[in-house]
């Protein structure tokens, strides 16, 4: 199941907005058992790690890390935000 | 050279230069917050968020479309920090000074607040921090947050990484008596900030991006 993040805004930076987005996705997108949630950044201008961290925290606590996927993006703010979040989550 | 600041209906025309650090310092350090230009002070997070898209206009001044997302996301992290870490802790008025302009092939961004400062934000849950200088270093270089047990604390590390890996980038931050700078032009930012923000209440940040 693909989630078009551009529908949540062109600029996605704050934690409160990220938490709201995560809760909205959880409420309105209902993947079939075993289906993945694919976050699509097409059309998004900028993402910050705070916003993305909140979204992933909400969704991964509900569906597990393996079922919540960030689709590849050429936007550097997406890749750099993901990198620092994954690095932090890998730190014991 | 004349430069345009803000947007309608609060457009200002000013002589080219770095952001008006003297005015930002006056606003930040006044015993009681003075009346300030509405185009430069964002009283709420919503106003700050609504003004972030203004950074897109600098693409017309030479800012690369590849760098624009990083400029917006780092600016967003710093500005949102003002609201995240001062909720219920403002000295008097809420909000942050947010000024940006292009001068001499550089984009300058200044964000300052009348908040509690980084040391006060962190020391409540990290009492081992010795002073304001140690708190600033910890904020930019380690995963640490004043809002434990929430899993936070990666925003300023993200900012430091982006600025230090972008050619011509630089950032300086002062909070209390603490001061840090990073990136190729970080020291330049620190020197400029130091002229107006030697010992501050709250936090002030100056970023610079070299335009191609």
- CB-based contact B185:B170 (threshold 8 Å): yes
Range of the domain at A14: 2-90
How close, in Å, is residue B26 to chain A by CA atoms?
Answer: 28
DSSP state of A66: G
Closest CB to B80: pick one of A14, A77, A91.
A14
DSSP state of A91: -
Return the ∠ at Cα B125 (arms to B158 and B155), rounded to 5°.
10
For chain B, 212 residues long, the average pLDDT of each consecutive 10-residue run is 63 70 91 82 95 94 94 98 92 92 92 94 88 94 69 87 97 96 97 89 95 88
Contact B66 A80 (CB under 8 A): no
For the record, the structure tokens of B85 come out as 């870490």
Alpha carbons B26 and A5: distance in angstroms, whole number: 40
For the record, the structure tokens of B66 come out as 């590849």
Query: Tell me: the pLDDT tens digits for A6-25?
Result: 999 999 999 999 999 999 99
Does the predicted TM-score (pTM) go above 0.80? yes
Q: What DSSP line would sit under chain B, residue for residue?
A: -EEEES-TTS-EEEESSS--HHHHHHHHHSSSPPP--TTTEE-SHHHHHHHGGGGGGGGGGT--TTTHHHHHHHHHHHHHHHHHTTTTT-SSS--EEEEEEEETTEEEEEEEE-S--HHHHHHTT-TT--SHHHHHHHHHHS---TTTTSS---HHHHHHHHHHHSTT-EEEEEEETEEEEESTTHHHHHHHHHHH-SSEEEEEEEEEEE--
Q: What is the pLDDT of residue B151?
A: 63
Inter-chain contacts counted by CB atoms under 8 A, chains A and B: 86
Cα B73 to chain centroid, rounded: 12
b/e for B71-93, b at 16 or more Cβ within 10 A? bbbbbbbbbbbbbbbbeeebbee
How close, in Å, is residue A63 to chain B by CA atoms?
Answer: 19
Q: What is the pLDDT of residue B199?
A: 78
What's the number of domains chain A is made of? 1
Contact A14 B76 (CB under 8 A): yes
Pairing of strands B200-210, B106-113: antiparallel
Q: CA nearest B202: which of B181, B178, B185, B184?
A: B178
Closest CB to A11: pick one of B53, B84, B162.
B53
Query: Tell me: the pLDDT tens digits for A34-61?
Result: 899 999 999 999 999 999 999 999 999 9
What domains appear along chain B, each with residue ranges and CATH number?
18-31+38-210 (3.30.565.10)
Q: What is the pLDDT of residue B96?
A: 95
Q: What is the pLDDT of residue A54?
A: 94
Interface ipTM: 0.94
> For the sheet containing A37-40, what is the strand order?
A2-4, A37-40, A68-70
Contact A13 B52 (CB under 8 A): yes
Q: What is the pLDDT of residue B71?
A: 98
Residue A92 pLDDT greater than 60, yes or no: no
Q: CA nearest A11: which of A62, A39, A51?
A: A51
User: Helical H runs in chain A?
Assistant: 15-28, 49-63, 76-90
């Amino acid at each position: 199941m693909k989630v078009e993040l551009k529908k949540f805004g062109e600029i996605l930076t704050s934690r409160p907005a990220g938490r709201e987005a995560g809760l909205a996705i959880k409420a309105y997108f209902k993947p079939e058992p075993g289906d993945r949630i694919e976050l699509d950044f097409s059309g998004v201008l900028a993402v910050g790690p705070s916003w993305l961290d909140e979204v992933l925290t909400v969704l991964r606590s509900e569906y597990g890390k393996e079922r919540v996927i960030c689709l590849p993006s050429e936007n550097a703010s997406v890749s750099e935000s993901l990198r620092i979040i994954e690095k932090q989550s890998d730190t014991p | 050279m004349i430069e345009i600041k803000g947007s309608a209906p609060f457009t200002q025309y000013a002589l080219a230069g770095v952001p008006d650090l003297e005015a930002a310092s006056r606003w930040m350090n006044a015993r009681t917050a003075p009346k300030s230009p509405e185009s430069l002070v964002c009283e709420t997070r919503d106003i700050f968020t609504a003004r972030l898209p203004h950074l897109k206009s600098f693409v017309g001044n030479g800012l690369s479309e590849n760098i624009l997302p990083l400029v917006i996301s780092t600016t967003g992290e710093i500005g949102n920090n003002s609201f995240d870490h001062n909720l219920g802790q403002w000295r008097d008025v809420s909000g942050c000074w947010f000024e940006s302009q292009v001068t001499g092939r550089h984009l300058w961004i200044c964000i300052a607040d009348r908040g509690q400062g980084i040391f006060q934000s962190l020391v409540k849950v990290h009492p081992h921090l010795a002073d304001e200088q140690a708190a600033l270093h910890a904020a930019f270089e380690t995963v640490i947050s004043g809002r434990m047990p929430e899993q936070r604390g990666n925003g300023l590390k993200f900012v430091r990484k982006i600025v230090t890996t972008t050619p011509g980038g630089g950032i300086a931050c002062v909070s209390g008596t603490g001061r840090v700078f990073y990136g190729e032009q970080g020291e330049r930012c620190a020197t400029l900030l130091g002229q107006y923000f030697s010992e501050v209440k709250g936090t002030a940040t100056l970023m610079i991006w070299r335009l191609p």
